Amino acid sequence: PYTGPSAGQVLAQRREFLNPGIITYYKHPIMIVQGKMQWLWDDAGKRYLDALGGIVTVSVGHCHPHVVAAAHQQNELLQHATTLYLHPNIGEFAEKLASTLPGDLKVCYFVNSGSEANDLALLMARLYTGNYDVIALRNAYHGGNAAGMGLTANSNWKFNVPHSFGVHHAQTPYSYRGVFGYDDPDAGRKYADDVKQVIDYATSGKIAAFIAESMQGVGGFVEFPAGYLQHAYGHARAAGGVCIADEVQTGFGRTGTNFWGFQNHGVVPDIVTMAKGIGNGAPLAAVVTTPKIAAMLTQKTHFNTFGGNPVVCAIGTAVLDVIAREKTQQNCLELGRHLLAGLNKLKEKHALIGDVRGQGLMVGLEFVKDRQTKEPAKEACQQVVENCRELGLLVGKGGLWGQTIRMAPPMNITKADADFILAVLDEAIGAAA
């Protein structure tokens, strides 16, 4: 059993010594002291099924033995020396990672977070194209540093400081709330027209990049209609831009049908950014691109002290091994279908659920006060999150108003876990309505 400081003590410490901008979930913050695969334990020994996965980050399970062993082994041998020197781990991991990507996407640059990855991707895109303007999407989240905040388009995450230099936000292809609904077979092309409009009206006509998540994460698991990315990429490339896929949440087989989220849309980007699931919780992220784009960085010196250190690269390789060995992508596909079917049944029962969506083990429920007006049910959503916690299930929130429940558990959950999620949600939503 846990014998450390109490949650109260830790909270008091946090209030005094940690920046108050660091948010906690729940009215009474939960203290997690142990994890094993899909399970988490709090200080009182209560067990939770982790359906948020450390915000779409714990890909192969908390403290997966293979990942722990790889980290441990490397920790004892060499923790850090910098990329000034050769080390086998970084090359091994880069080659393995590149083998999961199509075409010419095979040159890696390792960094420590998704925000850093997107910042670096923008730099490469601007150097390669010689252009400056960037098209991102409304309702997107790409990070909290200057570049990431600029690309992000959700007022909750944008501070009132100068940002978004050269970034223009196109309409988000949000079938549930947008102007072209699920019933419009041509919605993808129509939404993509706005990318062209923004290029024509807001830029010189030449752009550096178009960047999009392959399914919007923080925005509330918003999936793009068929054809959207194909058309958007077409417009971006016609204006001289490269296409960046932000796979921070959607990568590593989570969407089930493909290893990378962009593959679900039949496109091949020029630059792919990834983080979160790549390290199963270790601070690891990457920008992967083509040799031509990658070569732009040789114009000057570019350096990242921790990027690609031996320990995180050992972890990254171990994560890829587990994904292959345990067939987690297939599990995401099967359990994602099972969850979606169950969630759609819940929608028939609970008027609070306005929309059910997602793919693989990345599924969401958008709550509304009224299915006609679609007024976001923010308070009810928070109540469902609290109710789930009481019942032993951790879920996340998303969307501009915090109206969407997000679930992205470790990719190795079982059917029994999925059924538990559905049963808990049924009760938690019933009690919140």
Q: Return the DSSP state at 376.
A: B
Using the minimum distance from each CB to ligand PMP, give the nearer residue, 362 or 429: 362
Q: Which of 258, 252, 315 is nearest to 90 (CA)?
A: 315
Using the minimum distance from each CB to ligand PMP, give the nearer residue, 342 or 396: 396
Using the minimum distance from each CB to ligand PMP, give the nearer residue, 133 or 246: 246
The string over 218-237, giving b where at least 16 C-beta atoms fall within 10 Å of a residue's C-beta and e elsewhere, is bbbbbbbbebbbebbbbbbe
Residue 68 CB, nearest approach to ligand PMP (Å):
21
Give residues in contact with ligand PMP (CB under 6 A): 113-115, 118, 141-143, 148, 213, 217-218, 246, 248-249, 275
Using the minimum distance from each CB to ligand PMP, give the nearer residue, 239 or 274: 274
Residue 130 CB, nearest approach to ligand PMP (Å):
26
Using the minimum distance from each CB to ligand PMP, give the nearer residue, 213 or 355: 213
Chain position whose Cβ is nearest to ligand PMP: 114
Sign of the torsion formed by the C-alpha atoms of 186, 189, 192 and 197: negative
Angle, helices 310-325 vs 328-349, to 10°: value is 70
Residue 77 CB, nearest approach to ligand PMP (Å):
27
Using the minimum distance from each CB to ligand PMP, give the nearer residue, 117 or 413: 117
The string over 330-347, giving b where at least 16 C-beta atoms fall within 10 Å of a residue's C-beta and e elsewhere, is ebbbbbbeebbebbeebb
Residue 298 CB, nearest approach to ligand PMP (Å):
26
Using the minimum distance from each CB to ligand PMP, give the nearer residue, 368 or 408: 408
Residue 44 CB, nearest approach to ligand PMP (Å):
29
Contact 270, 289 (CB under 8 A): yes
The one-letter amino acid code at 135 reads I
Distance of alpha carbon 241 from alpha carbon 131, whole angstroms: 8
Angle, helices 415-432 vs 378-390, to 10°: value is 130
What are the CA-CA distances from residue 32 to residues 5, 36, 48, 396 (Å)? 12, 12, 10, 15
Residue 242 CB, nearest approach to ligand PMP (Å):
17
Residue 426 CB, nearest approach to ligand PMP (Å):
28
